[in-house]
Structure 1
Amino acid sequence: MDQNRIPPTVRRTYGADDLSTAPSFGGGFINFGYWQGMDLTAPTPEDRVHSQEQLYRRVLREFPEPREHRRLAEVGCGRGLGAALALREFRFATVTGVDIHPDQVERARAVNAKALATYPDRLAYTLGPADDLPFADGSLDGVYSVEAAQHFRELTGFAHEAARVLRPGGRLVVTTFFTADGPDVAERLSILLGSFADGLDVPHPLSAFTADLGKAGFGDVTATSIGADVWPGLDRYLADTVPPGHWSRNFHHAWRTGLLDYHVVTADLA
């Protein structure tokens, strides 16, 4: 794979900077968390990790039972902890974590060495971009992605690749933060949030992604907002872990003002 395809901010953030070590993530997982039912009075680092595990469980429950014969891939797997959780708790037949960043693939293999040794034929981590997945046509029963699609430069190629690698009837589940429609949304987000300003995150309108899925051959496309279980919990945790006035606190404001929201998107290949 051409490593020049990795945008500089993505290369740095998930390479030398190793975003997983930032206090705002609590270590290990790298997502904003699903805080439903959690006590937000004084969330601890352990609560933060639990919220991130819960986001994976929220996504993985979208694959109906029986799950034992389903072959899955996670696109943008990062350190691979979610793929290991998927195999361990949901007992899929196989789970392959895919990431565009070679440092993340190396970390995933190191962090999950015990799981790889325990399930040598069922768990794997490999290098690959979202728009050129390393799988044969129709070889998977499910594809999922947890808070990675906001880094993809475009989602049209990802939608078509997911359709290519899934068998008929296979399911795609994607969760991340999508933007609202509007001519000034991207500009307003780049003012509020440093990750949009420096190009780490790309403003993808939800409506454009769901349209791409339809054009790629998916049916039964649904988008469910889970923002109420993401943004307040994240903001409460950030209040104790980032300096006052840090731009990351503006995610909550962007949600409250309708610029973006967190969704779970599901789609079944026709």
Structure 2
Amino acid sequence: MPADQPPTVPPLDQIYGEFDLSTVPAFAGGFINFGYWADAPTGRPLTEADRIATEQELYRLVLRDLGRTEGRDAVEVGCGLGLGSALALREYGFASVTGLDVHPDQVERARERNADARAAHPDRLEYRRGAAERMPLPDASVDCLFSVEAAQHFPDVPGFAREAARVLRAGGRLALTTFFATGQEAARALPGLLPTYADGLDLAHVADEVAATLAAAGLSDVRIRAIGESVWAAYDRYLGQVPELCDLWPRRFLTAYEKGLLDYYVLTADRPGSP
């Protein structure tokens, strides 16, 4: 294969199914995200423990943006192995947390991986199969909706936005984080650099357009902020320190960021009305 030709990436069902992305060293710990590295050490080599801590910190960053969590009901959209849902219940005092994932293998893994937490908190932590644009939840059934590094896979962002507005109670809040293209021109350029875009694993949603879509669905006070300065460089430094990771295509994400093609964002929005 020519050096400038991106490698082939397995399709979405395969990479989260039989391939099991959580086993890849770049995603140590099973959280399957790039991590939030603002507090990562700088004076020594980064360790796998540091890497796992950054994945947990990305969840905490989003969960803090939900505001009040104690005693409230929450849903995570795109929960993967469900470790973030379990962390949310354990650390943020939710009355209940439901993790949704579109892939049946991931739902089964989440149930198995978090069996002890589910047993310790009967009826408070569950994992169900469900798509972002078709959530198996009643109207106005949750106070908080969060999603961590999953929205880049959503095939129908307007459908997700409508579902978020439907399942949130009045006064509820959405908080999500992931990487998005910085504009339409950037979205068109990304497949030429990153194989996950070329092969359709990641979709080049534009950040400002996602925010506008949430507002169009009836959510209010939509806010967006870029956090790429605390993601890409340190993540790339970690990859460069691990011999089996140093030549992988994930290192091209830093290049895309430096070229201004994508960034990492946190978006929040509220469901209008009084709780």
Calculate the TM-score normalised by the size of structure 1.
0.94
C-alpha displacement at 1:186, in angstroms? 2.7
Q: Using the TM superposition, give the Cα deviation of residue 27 of structure 1 relative to its aligned residue in structure 2, in angstroms.
A: 2.8
Give the whole-Å Cα distance in 1 for the aligned partners of 2:70 and 2:45.
Answer: 38
- Tell me if the contact between 1:97 and 1:125 (Cα under 8 Å) persists in the aligned partners: yes
Deviations 1:110-160 (A, max 9, x none): 000000000011100000000000110011101010000001112111000
Query: 1:52 aligns to what?
Result: 55
Contact 1:162–1:172 (CA under 8 A) maintained in structure 2: yes
Map of 1:240 onto structure 2:
241
| Per-residue deviation, 1:243 | 4.7
Moved more, 205-214 or 186-195: 186-195
Q: Does the aligned pair in 1 maintain the 2:26–2:245 contact within 8 Å?
A: no
Corresponding position of 2:174: 172
1:127 aligns with 129
Alpha-carbon distance in structure 2 between the residues aligned to 1:244 and 1:43: 14
* Aligned with residue 69 of structure 1, among 71, 80, 87: 71
Answer yes or no: is 1:34 the counterpart of 2:36: yes
Q: What percentage of aligned pairs have identical amino acids? A: 52
Report the count of equivalent residues: 261
Tell me whether 1:98 sits opposite 2:73 in the alignment: no
Given that 1:194 and 1:248 are in contact with CA atoms closer than 8 Å, whether structure 2 keeps it comes out as no
Shift of 1:180: 1.2
Consecutive unaligned residues in structure 2, runs of 5 or more: 1-9
> What CA distance in whole angstroms lies between the structure 2 residues aligned with 1:155 and 1:43?
35
Q: How does 1:105-144 map to 2 (within 5 A)?
A: 105-144=107-146
Find the aligned partners of 1:87 and 1:24 in 2 and give their Cα distance: 26
Once residues 161 and 53 of structure 1 are traced to their aligned partners in structure 2, the CA distance between those partners, rounded to angstroms, is: 26
- 2:164: which partner in 1? 162
CA drift at 1:250: 1.0
Q: Which amino acid aligns with 2:108?
A: E
Q: Which amino acid aligns with 2:252?
A: N
Partner residue, 1:227: 228
Alignment-derived partner of residue 6 in structure 2: none
Residue 209 of structure 1 is matched in structure 2 by 210
Q: What are the equivalent positions in structure 2 for 1:167-206 lying under 5 Å apart?
A: 167-183=169-185, 185-206=186-207
Secondary structure, in 3 states, of the residue corresponding to 1:96? strand
Q: C-alpha separation between the residues in 2 aligned to 1:137 and 1:188?
A: 39
Alignment gaps of 5+ in structure 1: 1-7
Structure 1 243/123 Cα, relative in aligned 2: closer, same or farther at 3 Å?
Answer: closer
Deviations 1:35-70 (A, max 9, x none): 1121143111111110000000000001223x2221
Matching residue of 1:5: none
Post-superposition shift, 1:246? 2.8
CA RMSD between the two structures = 1.2
Name the TM-score, length of structure 2 as normaliser: 0.92
